[in-house]
Structure 1
Amino acid sequence: MEKLCRSVWTLGQRTSLSSGSDRGIACLAALSETHQILQKSCRDFANAELAPHARRHDREELFPAEQVRRLGEMGLMSVIVREEYGGAGLDYQAYAIGMEEVARGDAAVSIVMGVNNLYAGAVQQHGTESQKEQFLVPYTQGKHIAFYALSEPGNGSDAGAASTTARLSDDGAYLLNGTKAWISNSKEASGGLIFATIDKSLKHKGITAFLTDKSVPGLCIAKKESKMGMRATSTCQVTLDDVSVPQSQVLGSPGSGFKIAMESLDSGRIGIAAQATGIAQAALELCTDYAEKRVAFGQRLSRLQMIQQKIADMALRVETSRLLTWRAAWLKDNGFAITKEAAMAKLHASETATYCSHQCIQILGGMGYTTDMPAELYYRNARVTEIYEGTSEIQRIVIANCILNGISN
């Protein structure tokens, strides 16, 4: 915890955080002093180093290498990793706060941060000491980033139906064959986690997680997707042709990959919820500022009741998303199961991001439709939050199953 506190102090002298004038920080009293300092510092970083470059990075599809390096220096690429492995040693509450503020500045950058923490959390939780030394420590400072290869062309939301196979070769190593799809960070990553089945007849019980460097023979970064949003990060197909992975690089044990994936996704949904809340917050701030300055029908837009209603509805949804996200993070930090709560946070926040970015464009009118303003970027970035790490439809199924089966905190 001390590491990240020291790094965020370098962004500027500590200021009073008790004032409500700085965009009205939600429920500030609920945050510890460390979390308040982190929130303020991440916001300053997002304002100074993320938001000014976001539209250019999106337009030119430029990977934000310098910004990612700075995230590593701040400890945000490994928020939840213990200090003994080079991480910040903070909790999921800190992760949620950091993700929201980074996404508020540039949602594409928050993808890199989120995937790296998703990967690092899995390795820290299930890896051996040798695996952590090789596949965790190098990924904590932003100099190396990781991918998380779970989805496939035919089973985006059905992780248990993996068609990528892993069979033991004569020399005792596993040979991986198949195709992974929509893999974030894959072009720039140094390595990552690949899920494959050792026996299709076992269904989800055959899924196994493998740690590997990207440079291993047979691993190819294939098609790079042309995307609606989040264009500053790479999303590619990864093909595997007899990729040899030693048994020592199996994460957990053979057949435990599905459990690892589900645990990771529960935690990862906290990150997506925070990311979506950040996008929604940015949209709310933009249209509120515009409504205060734009004059129409002889008065400021902000004086029109229809505009006030839109802003009130946006603010209500943003605050609710943030509180749901913080609740899921608190439960995670205190050892509770979070499957339902993480799904609720992710579902509500992602739909809020789409709603708020849509309303932002409506309030800005023609200006919202142009690339002169970031409203259209917020909308394009928001849409994927309802899709990855489980679609909104999947989240509703998860929530309903938890309630009907009596799983509740």
Structure 2
Amino acid sequence: MSSIPAWPLTDEQRQVVALCREFAANEIRPRGREVDEADVVTPTDLYGKAAEVGVTDFMIPQEYGGGGFTDVFTQCLAQEELCWGDPGIGNLVCSNGFFADPILALGTEEQKRAWLTPLTGPGSPMTALATTEPEAGSDAASIVTTARKVDGGYRINGQKAWISNAGAAELYVVFAKTDPSKRSSGVTAFLLRRDAEGLSFGQPMRKMGQRAIVCREIFFDDVFVPDEQRLGAEGQGFHGLMETFDISRVVLGAAALGAARAAYEYAHDYARTRTQFGVPIIQHQAVAFRLADMATRIESARLLVHHAARVIDSGQRATGLAAMAKLTASETAMFVTWAAVQTLGGWGYSREHPVEQWMRDVKLEEIEEGTSDIMRLVISRNL
């Protein structure tokens, strides 16, 4: 099934797609089952290989040493190919983009050079974005981690939960309340390093899917952060986070599309070779119609994801459209992976085939960066 969009691509974009497609086929797909069964082990060797070929920094601006593909549309093209290989590994090797977005939105030129330049080239460190808390998930304005102003900086106290790459990452963007009496206008963003005194991590959290990305709790015990590591002014953090969400939701929609395409292709190939009642099952009307539904939903979701990306790239605000793209793509991926399991029957339910893993993996896309219920709420408020 083709992933080429309706819009024409530049030669550079085609090169990025080819690079990510090759890396997904040769490096990611062969490791998907192994990493899934390892459960709580970050595949740092795969991350290192991705850094060597430029997969981890293609989204970083050229002036900081990256590939320069800062537009959301190209990031979506790359994300789909990588997550076609494996959703968890694909999201892992692109995680620097989620870290970079708030720095690009709120950071000074000095901060951008100091914190983004190290992410480029071989040996790139892993990064993390710390927002979610035990009692604050999709409602990011309700976080209770505090950043108290002191001489020369801030003291952060609190706890984060479900933080991707926590512990493995060397660099962090952390959101905390500088004014606990306020909701969104009290949120401020900070830059932290893993070796900060008072920063500690919980045990790896056991997850249903996307196990290539290990999640942990983060604990802040009077962690000192100097003034120069505050991103933007006090109270600007939520605004920067929402801008990041508009981008990340669309990119995660592309990630869901990659997994959906993989499941469709696998089910289609199986239906052509598996025989029941004397004929390939693809000739059975129920199976053929199911495959038709799968293909139609994927193409429809891709059009919406790419449209949302291009609207953001044009400089327009696209909060509602980004939510539509994530909602549609994630629910499409859930349907398509379910349909792939159905097509394979009992074999789809077994670990002999990857579709059961992909079904577990894509469930996360209906939850992270705002659940499907939250996406519907965002859409309704932006009609």
TM norm structure 1 = 0.90
8 Å CA contact 2:55–2:94 kept in 1: the answer is: no
Q: How is 1:83-102 mapped onto 2 (pairs within 5 angstroms)?
A: 83-90=62-69, 91-102=71-82
How far apart, CA to CA, are the structure 2 residues paired with 1:209 and 1:354? 33
* Matching residue of 2:46: 67
SS of 2:156 mapped into structure 1? strand
How far apart, CA to CA, are the structure 2 residues paired with 1:332 and 1:75? 24
Q: How is 1:85-234 mapped onto 2 (pairs within 5 angstroms)?
A: 85-90=64-69, 91-141=71-121, 143-169=124-150, 171-234=151-214
For residue 187 of structure 1, report the CA deviation from its aligned partner: 2.3
8 Å CA contact 2:20–2:55 kept in 1: the answer is: no
Segments of 4+ in structure 1 off by > 6 A? none
8 Å CA contact 2:92–2:212 kept in 1: the answer is: no
Per-residue deviation, residues 106-158 of structure 1 (Å, max 9, x unmatched): 11122223431011122123211221232211123362011000110001011
Per-residue deviation, residues 29-82 of structure 1 (Å, max 9, x unmatched): 533332223223321221111101110011013322222223223333233321
Per-residue deviation, residues 265-316 of structure 1 (Å, max 9, x unmatched): 1111111101100110010010000000000011001100100111000001
Task: Select the residue among 232, 245, 261 that pairs with 2:241.
Answer: 261
Q: How is 1:28-67 mapped onto 2 (pairs within 5 angstroms)?
A: 30-61=8-39, 62-67=41-46
Q: What is the letter of the counterpart of residue 196 of structure 1?
A: A
How far apart, CA to CA, are the structure 2 residues paired with 1:199 and 1:112? 33
* Matching residue of 2:265: 285
How far apart, CA to CA, are the structure 1 residues paired with 2:120 and 2:135? 32
How far apart, CA to CA, are the structure 1 residues paired with 2:137 and 2:280? 46
- Unaligned ranges ≥5, structure 1: 1-22, 404-409
Q: Which has the higher contact order (CA 8 A, sep 6+)?
A: 2
How far apart, CA to CA, are the structure 1 residues paired with 2:76 and 2:161? 26
8 Å CA contact 2:167–2:201 kept in 1: the answer is: yes
How far apart, CA to CA, are the structure 1 residues paired with 2:230 and 2:4? 42
Q: What is the letter of the counterpart of residue 78 of structure 1?
A: D
Would you say 1:80 and 2:59 are equivalent positions?
yes
How far apart, CA to CA, are the structure 2 residues paired with 1:68 and 1:213? 19
Task: Select the residue among 376, 385, 390 that pairs with 2:365.
Answer: 385
Q: 1:114 to 1:394 in 2, by over 3 A?
A: farther
For residue 185 of structure 1, report the CA deviation from its aligned partner: 1.0
8 Å CA contact 1:195–1:208 kept in 2: the answer is: yes
8 Å CA contact 1:119–1:147 kept in 2: the answer is: yes
Identity over the aligned pairs, expressed in percent? Answer: 38
Q: What is the letter of the counterpart of residue 267 of structure 1?
A: I
> How many aligned residue pairs are there?
380
How far apart, CA to CA, are the structure 2 residues paired with 1:29 and 1:392? 28
Would you say 1:368 and 2:348 are equivalent positions?
yes
SS of 2:234 mapped into structure 1? coil
Q: 1:365 to 1:34 in 2, by over 3 A?
A: same
Task: Select the residue among 220, 227, 231 that pairs with 1:251.
Answer: 231
How far apart, CA to CA, are the structure 1 residues paired with 2:59 and 2:29? 25
What is the CA RMSD across the aligned residues, in angstroms?
A: 1.4
More deviation in 32-41 or 340-349? 32-41
8 Å CA contact 1:114–1:271 kept in 2: the answer is: no
8 Å CA contact 1:42–1:98 kept in 2: the answer is: yes
More deviation in 362-371 or 59-68? 59-68
* Matching residue of 1:329: 309
Q: 1:64 to 1:28 in 2, by over 3 A?
A: farther
